[in-house]
Structure 1
């Protein structure tokens, strides 16, 4: 049975009934014949005939039109990767802009992103490296290697005897702070003379790599300490809070070499000597960045304080824009000191569950040789011989 008749079929039904009609009345059984001929229902044929009769009585032309709305099926839009790649980056920063550039809808763009046809990426600014920066980064990565003579492999140093120090600014308070209070508890009242000029304090943080036993016991957590740059000064005049001459703690706003030197000698070095685990090597390196207020290892006051109690503590400086983890160092060696790399996931969580997480990353000899050859080509040969000898590369045949 045909459910929906087209306009032509509807008019054929009406004409078929008219041909078997006398004075506008269909013969007996003509309606049933139309039902059988056009494979439709009796109600449909009756409805079409009544409508045609009304048109005839009104003096109109008998014409039956199908009420079915025919919709054209939309063709699926295909992604042209060439057009996408040729768009300027500024014209594809949002889904709305990308939809305009590709002349399609936002929902289509969202579907392509969800299915992986378009990849979302967040671009972060990186330091602009000079040729000297690249070579120093590469040398720093090479100098961080050592030869494991037991396994006869070259790995990054474990850094168990390296203390990392760095400065960090902190606001003494925040403009707004969330607290959870008990019902009826009074709300805390916090005041400040100016919300735009909240006092900042610089801290010096010192940490090293923790020592963990094979059974997972933490032998040394590696936390040396965090030390604020503050000073005790007497109050100049009386106030309702304190008497004149009362010592007040004030933040040191200008961090100079003398301030850094005092922190190293009177705070960091005593903390290292007090917390350093027994039995560990007392040849310790304090690694710092190349900020201007930092002192060098040849400072006489520092050397005197760093050589007490059997300790031999030395200062080392990282080069500008230097890496801070072995994964970065590995990529820097691959890209010859540049920073256009992307850190690959090692799957450390899975390795840790399987108890296969390595203590140090192994570095292929071919990669090290390529870096050394590149330094020689660039004329940066100072200390290359010592690196080759320390890593045992001079014993490799054909090197």
Structure 2
């Protein structure tokens, strides 16, 4: 028997392929082989390998990356199949991707080639669009190149483009990109430090003395009247009106478009009063009074006879006219419209520092 086994080992045959005679040595080696197979199965189960009796994994669902125009790709579960450990897609996978995402076959092919290169380099699969790098480079303008230009040389796009050595269309694109921003610069009144201090002192004097340490509180100002002057033109060069469907256009004419008469008015207002139930007891509107004179016509014309009283605007509003307005019209209106239930009290008239205004210590 030993000689038969030696012949089988020499020829490289097993018992099934040899002489067909089972020996004691063959049975012992068969038991050893069975033990090795069982040990290998236990080892595979410990390390998570697929057992001999387990089914192969189902490849019908495979996680692929969604091609996007911007940003990184997001993982989604699709029905596109790929053979594991292979660089070949199943038949029709690219066609399904074209139908699913609406891209061309060329775009899907580029994304797949990029994925294969990243997979070969052991990198993560990232789809990032490079569309923002296409086209010519944008014109860049520094902050200093604009700030060093004088304000009078950049009042319009054409002037600014000439100072920057650019085209007007390029400057317009920079405005749309918000690299250059338009700004309307208002003209503010020039106030000196003395005027600022005078305004602050006047505001501080309106605070009630007994409230200064704890809670500074202003006077209620119910006994204050504010006056101011305003110019009004007799008419306007262009005036918008709304007409009926078949109404004719109005025809306006004047002797001169550049010399339209204008009138100055003095307006006076006070703080309104409200009752307990919310009704308005005094609206605070003292009145608005024009600086005009009633003059008799010196001669006859086609428009009026001699001696007809005409209203003429005051050509120059000075302190004399302001004093006459306050004495003849403003003070009588205050006496007539002031709430009677407040009784006798001192009323202060607040005015600005215009030269035509009378002083506080005016004798009249």
Give the shorter-chain TM-score range.
Answer: 0.5 to 0.7
Which residue number in structure 1 is paired with residue 335 of structure 2? 273
C-alpha deviation, 1:268, in angstroms: 0.8
Counterpart mapping for 1:212-361 below 5 A: 212=274, 217-280=279-342, 282-301=345-364
SS state of the match for residue 347, structure 2?
strand
Which residue number in structure 2 is paired with residue 9 of structure 1? none
Per-residue deviation, residues 45-74 of structure 1 (Å, max 9, x unmatched):
xxxxxxxxxxxxxxxxxxxxxxxxxx9732
Which residue number in structure 2 is paired with residue 200 of structure 1? 262
Change (3 A) 1:215 1:106: farther
- Matched residues in 2 for 1:125 and 1:273: separation? 40
Asked if residue 135 in structure 1 is aligned to residue 197 in structure 2, the reply is yes
Contact 1:235 / 1:248 at 8 angstroms: preserved in 2?
Answer: yes
- Matched residues in 1 for 2:261 and 2:153: separation? 42
Contact 1:147 / 1:153 at 8 angstroms: preserved in 2?
Answer: no
Which residue number in structure 2 is paired with residue 362 of structure 1? none
Residue 156 (structure 2) aligned to one of 87, 94, 100: 94
- Matched residues in 1 for 2:137 and 2:239: separation? 54
C-alpha deviation, 1:283, in angstroms: 2.4
Q: TM-score, normalised by structure 2?
A: 0.53
Per-residue deviation, residues 191-247 of structure 1 (Å, max 9, x unmatched):
433333222211111122333568765443221111011122222233344333222
Residue 182 (structure 2) aligned to one of 120, 130, 133: 120
Q: Select the structure of larger CA radius of gyration.
A: 2
- Matched residues in 1 for 2:278 and 2:165: separation? 58
- Matched residues in 2 for 1:184 and 1:174: separation? 24
Give the gaps of 5 or more residues in structure 1: 1-70, 302-399
Change (3 A) 1:73 1:254: closer
Alignment coverage as a number of residue pairs:
231
Give the gaps of 5 or more residues in structure 2: 1-132
C-alpha deviation, 1:92, in angstroms: 3.2
Structure number with higher relative contact order (C-alpha < 8 Å, ≥ 6 residues apart) = 1
